[in-house]
Amino acid sequence: MKLRKIGFDLMVYESVDELEKEDQILMIEAVKARNNAYSPYSKFNVGAAVLLDNDEIVIGNNQENASYPSGLCAERVAIFYASAKFPGIGIKAIAISATSKNFVVDKPAAPCGNCRQSISEYEIKQLRPISIIMSGETGEILKCKSVSDILPLAFSSAFLG
Judged by the rule CB under 6 A, the positions of this chain that interact with ligand THU are 39, 42, 44, 46, 62, 64, 71, 73-75, 111-112, 115
Query: Of 145, 134, 155, whose CA–CA distance to 13 is shortest?
Result: 134
DSSP state of 72: B
Rounded least distance, CB 39 to ligand THU, Å: 5
- CA angle, residues 65, 71, 75, in degrees to nearest 5: 145
Terminal CA-CA length for the chain: 28
DSSP, collapsed to helix, strand or coil, labels residue 13 as strand
Rounded least distance, CB 147 to ligand THU, Å: 12
Smaller CB separation from ligand THU, 62 or 127 = 62
Give me the active site residues, please.
Answer: 75
Smaller CB separation from ligand THU, 141 or 159 = 141
Smaller CB separation from ligand THU, 117 or 126 = 117
Euclidean distance between CA atoms 45 and 136, whole angstroms:
10
Rounded least distance, CB 20 to ligand THU, Å: 23
